[in-house]
């Protein structure tokens, strides 16, 4: 379009809306904060929700919309909402179904950030929470109060890898008209689909396996269109928890290799879990792929594979465990998981430090527990690193 605009105007407006042909394979990044409309009427219709569209960055953007549609498809849900972190997803999902005076039942071995939110911030909203053993039907049912509105679980749990029967808990929720929210972070949509098993809402820390490269903070909520619309408009938009276009584009890239990455994570984790279980210096190993895991058969029935996290205890307690972790050369000490690099952490002093010691022990998080996020390196190299670290830890214990 030819105009008489000056250079000052042209640098802002020239060729802003050229159609690209052929179309790019990678999704375009649209970092715009605000969007222009042809009329006041069309702008008002979008804001009111009468017409589809985006109007301000806190409520979404075109790059994120593509990503949300992919996540919804992968989780077999009606709609998805992308937010700025896994904790933003967890808190948003809970606040969407809980208000002052309401009660939530939460699985007892839950991620430390979730515990912190529910034990410190939720009470300020007037929300009551009980942490219970969700492997036990009688405990769940007996813990339901007249004010209970939500059952919140993560399966497998972080870091104990307890596997919960999603279908069974969903049946309890249906009978008592409760909302079941499932944190599916450790599995990703590739290995488990809680909505298919009866859950109402799924949350993810996309920072982990969905993105898979350790360079994005993000979270997702998947569920019914009406619920997602409410969260987007009333919670995420107003609290400013939106996921931006740049991070959305990185996750879109990461998703393309999710199948290959997770297959490798799972294969290596199984091999490493079997090695650890056979080693005399390891006191216990928690991995759903081992026949000795208490929910091994359940895991096989609702999970496509057993995941990339292996949790275990080194003989000798806290000091031997610390020496083991500090002696690793390939594995890196870090708070996250699901990266290409093998990451190790000590839950009692790192990710779950916000949980009081007595509560941690109730949840099975002992002082000697170690969580290994198996990376994409050669499994034998990881095992060799574990061997030398175990040997060093044993030397310290014997001396």
Contact 310, 269 (CB under 8 A): yes
Is the residue at 330 inside a domain? Answer: yes
- Please state, in angstroms and rounded to a whole number, the distance separating the CA atoms of residues 77 and 193: 9
| CATH code at position 144 | 3.40.640.10
Q: How confident is the model at residue 213 (pLDDT cuts 50, 70, 90)?
A: very high
Q: What are 244-285's pLDDT values in tens digits?
A: 999 999 999 999 999 999 999 999 999 999 999 999 999 999
Residues 327 and 223 in one domain: no
Write down the pLDDT at residue 56. Answer: 92
Q: What is the mean pLDDT of residues 1-18?
A: 67
At residue 338, φ and ψ (nearest 5 deg) are 80, 10
Q: Which residues are catalytic?
A: 58, 111, 183, 208
Number of structural domains in the chain = 2
> Which pairing describes strands 103-107 and 128-132: parallel, antiparallel, or unpaired?
parallel
Q: What are 353-393's pLDDT values in tens digits?
A: 777 787 777 777 788 889 999 999 999 999 999 999 999 98
**Which one, of 254, 247, 258, 115, lies nearest residue 188 by Cα?**
258
Domain end residue (candidates: 206, 237, 255): 255
Write down the pLDDT at residue 397. Answer: 54
Write down the pLDDT at residue 316. Answer: 87
Residues 298 and 198 in one domain: no
User: In the predicted model, is pLDDT for residue 336 greater than 80?
Assistant: yes
Residues 269 and 208 in one domain: no
Write down the pLDDT at residue 8. Answer: 72
Going by the DSSP 8-state scheme, the letter that residue 351 receives in this structure is: T
User: In the predicted model, is pLDDT for residue 317 greater than 60?
Assistant: yes
Is the residue at 349 inside a domain? Answer: yes
Write down the pLDDT at residue 15. Answer: 63
pTM confidence score = 0.93
In the block, residue with structure tokens 């292996």: 310
Contact 176, 142 (CB under 8 A): no
Is the residue at 148 inside a domain? Answer: yes
Residues 85 and 217 in one domain: yes
Please give the residue range of the domain that contains residue 269: 258-398
| CATH code at position 338 | 3.90.1150.10
Residues 294 and 234 in one domain: no
Question: Helices 379-398 and 258-278 sit at what angle, rounded to 10 degrees?
Answer: 30
Q: What are 170-190's pLDDT values in tens digits?
A: 999 999 999 999 999 999 999
Q: What are 161-175's pLDDT values in tens digits?
A: 999 999 999 999 999
Exposure class string for 9-24: b at 16+ Cβ within 10 A, else e: eeeeeeeeeeeeeeee
Is the residue at 306 inside a domain? Answer: yes
Residues 224 and 276 in one domain: no
Q: How confident is the model at residue 20 (pLDDT cuts 50, 70, 90)?
A: low
Is the residue at 119 inside a domain? Answer: yes
Residues 68 and 187 in one domain: yes
Residues 6 or more apart whose CB falls under 8 angstroms from that of 374 comprise 265, 268, 269, 272, 308, 309, 310, 342, 382
Write down the pLDDT at residue 14. Answer: 64
- Please state, in angstroms and rounded to a whole number, the distance separating the CA atoms of residues 201 and 166: 12
Domain end residue (candidates: 233, 255, 277): 255
Residues 134 and 276 in one domain: no
Residues 276 and 249 in one domain: no
Residues 174 and 300 in one domain: no
Write down the pLDDT at residue 350. Answer: 81
Q: What is the mean pLDDT of residues 5-22?
A: 66
Residues 96 and 222 in one domain: yes
Contact 252, 30 (CB under 8 A): no
Is the residue at 143 inside a domain? Answer: yes
Domain end residue (candidates: 225, 255, 285): 255
Dihedral sign for Cα atoms in the order 211, 216, 222, 228: negative
Q: Which helix (H) or strand (E) holds 180?
A: strand 179-183
Is the residue at 7 inside a domain? Answer: no
Is the residue at 160 inside a domain? Answer: yes
Contact 397, 315 (CB under 8 A): yes
**Which residue would you say has higher pLDDT here, 4 or 291?**
291
Write down the pLDDT at residue 368. Answer: 82
Write down the pLDDT at residue 2. Answer: 61
Residues 170 and 204 in one domain: yes
- Please state, in angstroms and rounded to a whole number, the distance separating the CA atoms of residues 54 and 50: 12
Name the average pLDDT for the chain. 92
Q: What is the mean pLDDT of residues 212-231?
A: 97
The tokens for 226 are 């009406």
Comparing 91-100, 308-317, 381-390, the range with the smallest average pLDDT is: 308-317
- Please state, in angstroms and rounded to a whole number, the distance separating the CA atoms of residues 217 and 85: 5
């Amino acid at each position: 379009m030819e105009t008489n605009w000056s250079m000052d105007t042209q640098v802002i407006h020239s060729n802003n809306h050229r159609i690209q042909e052929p179309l790019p394979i990678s999704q375009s990044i649209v970092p715009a904060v605000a969007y222009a409309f042809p009329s006041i009427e069309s702008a008002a219709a979008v804001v009111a929700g009468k017409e589809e569209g985006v109007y301000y960055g806190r409520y979404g953007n075109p790059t994120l919309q593509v990503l949300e549609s992919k996540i919804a498809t992968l989780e077999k849900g009606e709609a998805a909402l992308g937010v700025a972190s896994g904790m933003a997803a967890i808190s948003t999902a809970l606040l969407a179904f809980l208000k002052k005076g309401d009660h939530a039942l939460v699985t007892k071995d839950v991620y430390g950030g979730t515990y912190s939110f529910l034990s410190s911030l939720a009470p300020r909203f007037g929300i009551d929470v009980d942490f219970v053993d969700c492997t036990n039907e009688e405990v769940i049912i007996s813990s339901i109060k007249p004010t209970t509105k939500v059952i919140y679980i993560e399966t497998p749990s972080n870091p104990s890898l307890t596997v919960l029967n999603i279908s069974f808990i969903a049946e309890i929720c249906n009978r008592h008209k409760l909302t079941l929210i499932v944190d599916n972070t450790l599995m990703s949509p590739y290995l488990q689909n809680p909505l298919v098993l009866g859950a109402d809402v799924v949350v993810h820390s996309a920072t982990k396996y969905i993105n898979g490269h350790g360079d994005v903070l993000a979270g997702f909520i998947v569920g019914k269109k009406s619920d997602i619309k409410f969260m987007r408009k009333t919670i995420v938009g107003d609290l400013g928890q939106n996921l931006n276009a740049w991070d959305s584009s990185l996750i879109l890239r990461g998703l393309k290799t999710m199948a290959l990455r997770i297959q490798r994570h799972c294969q290596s984790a199984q091999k490493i879990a079997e090695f650890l279980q056979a080693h005399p210096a390891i006191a216990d190993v928690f991995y759903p792929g081992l026949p000795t895991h208490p929910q091994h058969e359940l895991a096989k029935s609702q999970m496509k594979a057993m995941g990339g996290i292996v949790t275990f205890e080194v003989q000798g307690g806290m000091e031997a465990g610390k020496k083991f972790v500090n002696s690793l050369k390939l594995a890196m000490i870090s708070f996250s998981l699901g990266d290409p690099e093998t990451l190790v952490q000590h839950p009692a002093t790192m990710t779950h430090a916000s949980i009081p010691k007595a509560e941690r022990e109730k949840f099975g998080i002992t002082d000697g527990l170690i969580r290994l996020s198996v990376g994409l390196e050669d499994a034998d190299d990881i095992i060799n690193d574990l061997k030398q670290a175990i040997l060093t830890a044993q030397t310290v214990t014997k001396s």
